[in-house]
Amino acid sequence: NMTIMEAEELLTQNFSQFFTQPKVALSVIEKTSIKVILYGEVSRIGVFPVKPNTTVAEFIIAKGGTTPDADISRIAISRNDGSKIIFDMERYLYSNEPINNVVLKDKDKIIVPRFKVQEKYGKLSKNYILQYGNVLEISINEMALMETNPARSESYIVDSEGNIFHRLFGSVHLSGLTVDKAQSILTEMAKQYFREPIVSVDVIELSSRNVFVFGEVVRPGIYPIEGNIQLAEFLANIGGMTDAADLREIVVTRKQGKPVVFDMNDFLFKRADRKNIFLEDGDRIIVQKRQRGIFVRLSEKLQPFTTLTSLLSSMLMIYLYITTTK
């Protein structure tokens, strides 16, 4: 904590023990370096020395910049004293406004967060046009209860036909609409069930993996899947199966491995979860038609003749009754 001159005087006094009239000259050739931590969606993670008066934007660029998944509008700088600064690098780069482009201090922690699709497309851009594969988070609240008892959000997938299958409204076509327009349509539909509905629609995933559904289901087709979803849950989400479906033998074929046979009856009534597999990209789900026994099929074929015979018998009984009463 001395000036250069004070340090020279002190050293001169000390060296006088060993030299006659010593002359001491002191020069600073390098200042003490500052060390900061860089973490998150950046090209290089680690602890780095920085030169004094280096700003956060200059430092990040000098270290190779950020990854494509980085949200550069919310870069956080945590300081040793417990304070936190949020730096909008996107705004700084495109408007040259140096807001919060702070000079780095020793032990600063710089965290570059991951870009969140939900916030970017759902909360910031209601003009995003919905399309096949989008995963939506939809919540419907009664205005009077919104603060005290808010409803939970539910996730829906825009299918290959551009529809979602909502638990209240059934099939709703949303593909090609903006988020804002979809929200307006769902608000109108919600008025059948709510006095003053408040509807929120957010896009939480832009694209997804696909599975193929064939056979005795209400809505066969190609469906995107997101995250970890199991077979039984998936079939329920797409509208379920037809009355003719064979619940005991649902087959899943996949790119690698043997086909899996799933018994929905055992799953529902015996809680046999072992074969309720997690779906993978490219899975083909085949719901087969229930095979009827020979007597059931025979009765179905004879049913028209049985009906005709019964009709003729009834007519004969009526004729005999009329003739005998005359």
Instruction: Tell me if 326 is assigned to some domain.
Output: yes
Do both 141 and 124 map to the same domain?
A: yes
pTM above 0.75, yes or no: no
CA distances from 58 to 50, 94, 174 (A): 10, 15, 44
Domain membership of residue 55 (yes or no) is yes
Q: pLDDT of 11-67, one tens digit each?
A: 999 998 888 888 999 887 766 678 999 998 898 899 999 988 899 999 999 898 888
Choice between 175 and 295, residue whose per-residue pLDDT is larger: 175
- CATH number of 144's domain: 3.30.1950.10
* Amino acid sitting at position 90: E
Whether the pLDDT of residue 296 is over 60: the answer is no
Identify whether 104 is part of a domain: yes
Higher pLDDT among residues 24 and 274, named by residue: 24
How far is Cα of residue 136 from the mean position of the Cα atoms in its chain? 8
Give me the pLDDT at residue 223, please. Answer: 79
Same domain, 317 and 284: no
In which domain, by residue range, is 323 found?
301-326
- Please count the other Cβ atoms lying within 10 Å of the Cβ belonging to residue 106: 14
pLDDT in tens, 134-191: 888 899 988 877 767 888 888 898 887 889 999 899 999 999 898 889 999 999 999 9
What is the count of structural domains for the chain? 5
285 neighbors 250 (Cβ within 8 angstroms): yes
In this structure, the answer to whether residues 24 and 47 fall within a common structural domain is no
Task: Indicate whether 246 and 270 sit together in one domain.
Answer: yes
Is 294 part of a structural domain of the chain? Answer: no
What is the CATH classification number for the domain harbouring 253?
3.10.560.10
> Are 219 and 283 in a shared domain?
yes
Last-in-domain residue among 158, 182, 205 = 205
The overall average pLDDT reported for the chain is: 83
Q: Does residue 295 sit within a domain?
A: no
Quick one: 258 and 271 in the same domain?
yes
| Residue 296 maps to a domain | no
Question: Quick check: is 192 in a domain?
Answer: yes
Q: Which of 87, 110, 133 is the last residue of a domain?
A: 110
Residue 270 structure tokens:
């015996």
Mean pLDDT lowest among 11-20, 136-145, 286-295, 296-305 = 296-305
140 in Cβ contact with 167 (< 8 Å): no
**Final residue in a domain of this structure, among 91, 110, 129:** 110
> Residue 180 and residue 37: Cα distance in Å, rounded?
41
Full 3-state SS string of the chain:
CCCHHHHHHHHHHHHCCCCCCCCCCCCCCCCCCEEEEEEECECCCEEEEECCCCEHHHHHHHCCCECCCECCCCEEEECCCCCEEEECHHHHHHHCCCCCCCECCCCCEEEECECCHHHHHHHCCCCCECCCCCEEEEEEEEHHHCCCCCCCCEEEECCCCCEEEECCCEEEECCCCEHHHHHHHHHHHHCCCCCCEEEEEEEEECCCEEEEEEECECCCEEEEECCCCEHHHHHHHCCCECCCEEEEEEEEECCCCCCEEECHHHHHHCCCCCCCCECCCCCEEEEEECCCCHHHHHHHHHHHHHHHHHHHHHHHHHHHHHHHHC
Q: What is the pLDDT of residue 208?
A: 59
For position 122, what pLDDT does the model report? 44
Higher pLDDT, 323 or 247: 247
User: Which residue's entry shows tokens 């003749």?
Assistant: 305
Q: Which residues are CB-contacts of 218 (< 8 A; sequence separation ≥ 6)?
A: 238, 239, 240, 241, 242
